[in-house]
Structure formats: C-alpha cells, structure tokens
Homo-oligomer: A and B are copies of this chain.
C-alpha cells in the first residue's frame, strides 16, 4: 500500500531535465533557430533539414516552452474568458462556441469565473493581463472603473457579451435583455395574463429583463410585476422556493417570468407537487431555451437566444483583430426569439 509516502519527485529539480530547443539543435546538427523555424514556419526550411529536425523533435520528446516564446514574441495565443459561473448550463454553450472557434486557429482558452462579482472580475482581468493573454471575452457590459482602465492600458482586444451597450469597451456581441423582457411581457399580456411576477437575481442582465417586462406591462396599464429576488446557487431549488413564496404570498399571480429556464423548471416541479395546473392555474416562462425547458412536461415557454453563436462570434472578432483584419461589426446584435410553448 503506497500510503504515507513522501512524494518522490521534488518539484524544484532546478537543473531541469526538460529538453530544450538547443538540445534538439545540437543533436540534429543545426542551429537552434532552424528548430524554431521547423516549428513555426516549416515552409522556410529545406525539406531534408525539416525531416531530420522533426524526427529528433519526436525522438527526444521536445515540447517548446510557450512561456519563453510568449515572452519573446509578445503573443501567447491564449484568449481569456470570464463568465459569472461555469458549470451552470446558461453560459456553457457560449464557452463551447468560443473554444471551438479558438481551437481551430491554435488558440487556447483560459477560463475564469467571477461569481457574479465585479470585484472578482476585476481581479481576474488583472491576472489575465499579467499572463499577457492576447484577448479577453467578458460577460455583460458592467465592469469596475479599474477594470476598464486596466483593459485600456493593456491595449488588448476585448469583447463584451450577453448584453448590448452604446459604448462598449471595444467590441460587443449580444442581444437586448431589456427588449427580451419586453417581448415576454407582450407575450404574457397577449395570452391574457394580468397578474405577473418576475423571479430573478440581482445581476445586470436580470435587472434589464425585469425593466423590459415592467415597461411592457406599464404600457397596457397592467400593474408592475411582483419581484422575487433569488439568491445564486442551485437553481431548481431556488425556483421551487420562489414558487412557494408566490403561491403563498401572492396567490392572485397568474403568470411568472423566470430569469432562466432552470428556475422555471424548479417552479414547475413545485407546481406539480402541489397539483397546481400549468398553465391553467398559473403560467410559467423562462429564459435561454435550455434543454430542460424543451424536455419537461409541459414544455416551458422561453426566450431563445443563441448562446453558442455569441461565443463563436466573439472568437471571430478577436481573431480578426489579432490578424489585423477589419471587424465588420464592432457591435453585433444577435437578437432573440420568444418561443411559446405549453406552459403559457
């Protein structure tokens, strides 16, 4: 049993055994610059030389030190992205779109999680700038003054996402959360609902959706929605809890707009448990068009947004900029669609 054993590889074996460009060059009988060229610009090396060097690279298990390369060339081929939370499905598709597009060009993604905190976001931005990432993707348009200033000073391309703004830091791809909330308000009105509640967090995008919803209702002189604030955390449970609160404290409510589909699904589960019929007794709708909204019964009305495309476009903008190509649209509005389903 190999327990209680001191780890045998001292991490600081300073005379590191790592194979270097020099080693390969020496073995292959060329200068180190040739090895460099074989890796970066193979066309500029004679085929014979290239073959020989390549075989030594493989044989010796040489892995170029990207730290040194980045330091010398001032390009790391790393793009950083900051999302409020990884591991909840909302932003997963954006990350996927981002990383797929970046990988296709040999870039890697450094991922950070801000926990919906502007301060944490700022700290991450500083750390990423310290690592000399080639570009940064941010969620939302709200950032600390310090973050904006750092980003400006670093002079690297930035893409803000998941919202719209007149004056982005640099580039922007998203949709109007306000308009999306407004559109859902119109949908609910048109379906005849008059006592509407909104369940969502304090994050800027949720706030914008609520503002849009409120405006739509006000337009028709329907009273301002009841606002149930949810803590961050496990969404199904939060959705359930807010549903309990609505049923208990706001029994006249006939429709609830949730800031995401998982919250709505949790609420639906609570309704089913309490034998409230959806949508007959109370209507529910969500946001983002996640899988659960489609698959649960009754299927949940939602606002479809193209999360994957946001990531994809952000990556394209960055790559264009990094290759000195013009970016056709510095502000890119991807829009949204209300998807009526059985739950309303």
Contacts and interface: CB of A to CB of B under 8 A. Distances in A.
A99 B113 contact: yes
A113 to B, nearest CB: 7
A129 B87 contact: no
A330 to B, nearest CB: 5
A240 B91 CA distance: 24
Nearest to A3: B329
A96 interface: yes
Given A11-B324, A99-B113, A291 B87 contact: no
A61 B150 contact: yes
A213 B185 CA distance: 50
B155 A9 contact: yes
A63 B95 contact: no
A156 B11 contact: yes
A12 interface: yes
Contacts of A63: 126, 129-130, 150, 154
A111 interface: yes
B321 A11 contact: yes
A21 interface: no
A251 interface: no
A30 interface: no
A52 B70 CA distance: 31
A269 B297 contact: yes
Interface string A67-111: 110110010100000000011110111011001000000001111
A236 to B, nearest CB: 4
Interface centre among A7, A170, A234 (most CB of B within 10 A): A7
Interface in A223-239: 234-237
A237 B126 contact: no
A131 interface: yes
A40 interface: no
Given A269-B296, A272-B297, 7 more contacts: A3-B331, A13-B155, A18-B154, A61-B153, A88-B89, A109-B111, A269-B295
28 contacts: A1-B331, A2-B331, A3-B328, A5-B327, A5-B330, A6-B327, A7-B330, A11-B157, A12-B74, A18-B153, A61-B149, A63-B126, A63-B154, A66-B127, A67-B67, A67-B70, A67-B71, A67-B76, A68-B71, A86-B86, A86-B87, A87-B91, A99-B113, A110-B110, A237-B295, A266-B295, A269-B295, A272-B297
